[in-house]
Structure 1
Amino acid sequence: MNKFKVALLQTDVCDDKEKNIENAVRLIERVSKEGADIAVLPEMFCCPYNSSLFRAYGENEGGAAYTAMSKAAKDCGIYVVAGTIPELKDNKVYNTSYVFNRNGIQIAKHRKMHLFDIDIEGGQYFKESDTLTSGGDVTLFDTEFCRIGLAICYDIRFPELSRLMAAEGAEVIIYPGAFNMTTGPAHWELSFRARALDNQVYTIGVAPARDLEAMYHSYGNSIVASPWGNVLSRMDEKEGYIIQEIDLDYVKKIRNELPLLKHIRKDIYKLLKSK
């Protein structure tokens, strides 16, 4: 199959974990009925984006959010990229994205590699490393459509990671994210277009809706960029969803017409993945 549909679920996130999960399930059910093959949720879709809350809202693998997403995938017959969930493991907290297939079986898991520690004068201060532990795996998963790469938010700023995923066969890269009102207007669209263009892949970014009463103000603007670097779909700051068709023949077309991945000078430089 050369085409499939991805639903970007830009959910409101409140301080009630159960309500956040129920809202996510409701939207998964809705987009599955509208023909979506894959549903993607935002970073920390079940938890306010506040590092002081990550442990309190966290769960072991197989917890409430995990189980609900697995069940929704099975009940709706849809792939679910379950945004991210604060994962508790060995007294550590990870920012973790799980992927479930149409039967509700976990087929991938990515722990955010690069932790968001910034201090911008006159702008945003945030330090994820106060609470979170970083992951260390490059994550891809296979579907009947294509191979898909998975990373989380700040991971997109490190082009080596997306290039590794493209080199291992990714034609689409998905990033649950939550850029803020300092970094979002400056770099959100630019980052997704750049990584799409660099690697001739579709890039998909899904963020929470903006809540100005929350401590952290998400930029929203969930987005899909094409292998040519064009923006195909983009939301505003409000809760909602979009369903975007992904045409894999277009990936092949762009890679044939402008074969930059074949022009990499491996005789001069190499990008190596640690064993």
Structure 2
Amino acid sequence: MEEQITYINVRSLLSFCCVLEDFHDPALNINSYFEKPNGHPESLCWSAVWTARADMAAVAKAMSKFRLAVVQLHVTSVKADNLSRARGLVKEAAGRGSQLVLLPECFNSPYGTGFFSQYAERIPGESTQLLSETAKENQVYLVGGSIPEEDGGKLYNSCTVFGPDGELILKHRKIHLFDIDVPGKIRFQESETLTPGDRLSTFQTRCQLLVYPGAFNMTTGPAHWELLQRARALDNQLYVATASPARDEASSYVAWGHSSVVNPWGEVISKAGPEEAVIYADVDLQYLADIRQQIPVTAQRRDDLYAVTSLPGAAS
């Protein structure tokens, strides 16, 4: 469940980060983080940063708005059905003008430690081939949620991102595995079956959108899901989009649902219910720039008191 970050230079469309969950740390300010190559805050809880450059002012001038779609997929035990429905919903989203589409965590597989080995694939493989074809067919940037990946006898929770040409832009293996044990409510341990990723991918940039494929449950969902999204949007003065699987009360792990998009003012501007749905939001980069000008958080950074430190061995 809770972790992942991505950016793509959408050819002057935007800078964005895709975070495969783990957005619990209020001390981490993304704007500070991206100011230095290989920067790494001490309290970093997110798994990775994938990004390239895009000047915010130039982007806002060239294209001040773009449409984002979040697919809240009802995931079943039949992988072929999951892939087929995901493909159809991405097509639907593209038909409504979306340039960036987000799928949920474990979109091709039930979410659970007992399923990861059964549904695991190599990358490239069946699911990533479908993502590549779907991105190209619909001319969209596609954040492929995540899938269970097998490599060298180990299992990973991996997110892939594809461009409108169908090419793989990035792959990230979830670093911070989700373990929870709340007596009388829920016990779930990703670490019992999955292996954490072992590297961060970082580039120098600023960020305007955080994207989280995540599968919060019926304990953490009502308590933390929206709260964390709004907090991260406010901390960093950017848009936050989260993609959950749809809720299935009959599954062994019941997802919360309620995929959402939050604006830089901390307002929820689009939100799904618990059922399968596609939600949309128009991301306004000029509005984001205005917010950052009105409340100049990054300009008030105190480099004389603290600093972003480098992470040895981070990918560049």
Q: TM-score, normalised by structure 1?
A: 0.88
Alignment partner for residue 108 of structure 1, among 158, 165, 170?
170
Q: CA deviation at 1:136?
A: 3.9
Higher relative contact order (CA 8 A, sep 6+): 2
| Alignment partner of 1:37 is 2:84 | no
Structure 2: which 5+ runs fail to align? 1-62
- Report the structure, 1 or 2, having the larger helix content: 1
Q: Distance in 2 between matches of 1:267 and 1:60?
A: 47
1:79 equivalent in structure 2: 141
Alignment of 1:105-254 (within 5 A): 105-138=167-200, 168-254=205-291
Q: Distance in 2 between matches of 1:123 and 1:188?
A: 17
Structure 1: which 5+ runs fail to align? 141-164
Q: Distance in 1 between matches of 2:232 and 2:196?
A: 22
- Report the structure, 1 or 2, having the larger strand content: 1
1:64 equivalent in structure 2: 126
Q: Distance in 2 between matches of 1:272 and 1:250?
A: 30
Return the letter of the residue paired with 2:286.
Answer: D
Question: Could you say if the C-alpha distance between residues 137 and 251 of structure 1 is closer, same or farther in structure 2, counting changes exceeding 3 Å?
Answer: farther
Return the letter of the residue paired with 2:218.
Answer: M
Q: Distance in 1 between matches of 2:215 and 2:233?
A: 18
1:268 equivalent in structure 2: 305
Q: Distance in 2 between matches of 1:19 and 1:12?
A: 10
| Alignment partner of 1:99 is 2:136 | no
Q: CA deviation at 1:273?
A: 3.9
Alpha carbons 1:112, 1:134 under 8 Å: kept? yes
| Alignment partner of 1:22 is 2:84 | yes
Q: CA deviation at 1:119?
A: 0.4
Deviates more, 1:53-62 or 1:177-186: 53-62
1:149 equivalent in structure 2: none
Q: Distance in 2 between matches of 1:58 and 1:242?
A: 28
Q: CA deviation at 1:190?
A: 0.3
Q: What is the aligned-residue RMSD (CA, Å)?
A: 1.4
Identity %, equivalent residues? 42
2:117 equivalent in structure 1: 55
2:3 equivalent in structure 1: none
Q: Distance in 1 between matches of 2:200 and 2:264?
A: 21
Tell me which stretches of 4 or more aligned residues in structure 1 moved more than 3 Å.
136-140
Q: Secondary structure at the match of 1:113?
A: coil
Alignment partner for residue 89 of structure 1, among 142, 145, 151?
151
Q: Distance in 1 between matches of 2:247 and 2:155?
A: 24
Q: CA deviation at 1:51?
A: 1.0
Q: Distance in 2 between matches of 1:228 and 1:271?
A: 25
Q: List per-residue Cα deviations over 1:45-72 (Å, max 9, x = no partner).
A: 0000011211110111111110001000
Return the letter of the residue paired with 2:108.
Answer: C
